[in-house]
């Protein structure tokens, strides 16, 4: 996937956060540690620095949410991370992003930390980030 497509999907997924730009995606994709799974509907991006997989972002176009696309992308990213030697996956999610929190709960992630006022909001106060983790079993 190109940085431009990633930026388009990201912009179509997030209405409360600043979407990432094509240049930001290009910078991430320049690293051999970064992987992306998905397509122009939904994707998950992560970085493996053994023994951890950091899930950088997950995006699904708003008009296609609740169809299992995000779940499939995150699951595929977890498998790809395992294949690259990751034993644990972690991520940050906005405390008010109930759909994403539900997705990560279903995938077996657990809260391991909190970052206060981590996510800026365009029309309101900053929101806490929950730090979630999941053991990746072989």
pTM: 0.93
Cα distances (Å, whole numbers) of residue 124 to 7, 75, 109, 119, 121: 24, 32, 28, 11, 5
C-beta of residue 62 within 8 angstroms of C-beta of residue 12 = yes
Q: Over the stretch 45-58, which tens digit does the pLDDT of each residue have?
A: 999 998 999 999 99
The per-residue pLDDT for 120 is 85
Provide the 3-class DSSP secondary structure of residue 20: coil
Q: Over the stretch 31-50, which tens digit does the pLDDT of each residue have?
A: 999 999 999 999 999 999 98
DSSP conformational letter for 82:
H
As a whole number, mean pLDDT of residues 93-102 equals 94
Mean per-residue pLDDT over the chain, rounded:
94
Distance, in Å, from the CA atom of 71 to the CA atom of 43, rounded to the nearest integer, reads 10
| Other residues' Cβ atoms within 10 Å of the Cβ of residue 55 | 22
- The verdict on whether omega for the bond into residue 96 sits within 30 degrees of 0, i.e. cis, is no
């Amino acid at each position: 996937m190109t940085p431009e497509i990633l930026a388009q999907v990201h912009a179509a997924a997030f209405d409360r956060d600043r979407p990432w730009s094509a240049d930001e995606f290009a910078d991430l994709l320049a690293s051999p540690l970064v992987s992306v799974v998905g397509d122009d509907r939904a994707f998950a991006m992560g970085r493996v620095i053994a023994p951890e997989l950091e899930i950088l972002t997950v995006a699904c176009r708003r008009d296609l949410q609740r169809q299992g696309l995000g779940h499939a992308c995150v699951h595929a990213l977890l498998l790809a991370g395992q294949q690259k030697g990751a034993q644990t996956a972690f991520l940050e999610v906005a405390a008010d992003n109930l759909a994403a929190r539900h997705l990560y709960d279903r995938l077996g992630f657990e809260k391991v930390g909190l970052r206060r006022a981590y996510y800026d909001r365009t029309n309101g106060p900053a929101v806490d980030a929950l730090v979630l983790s999941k053991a990746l079993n072989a």
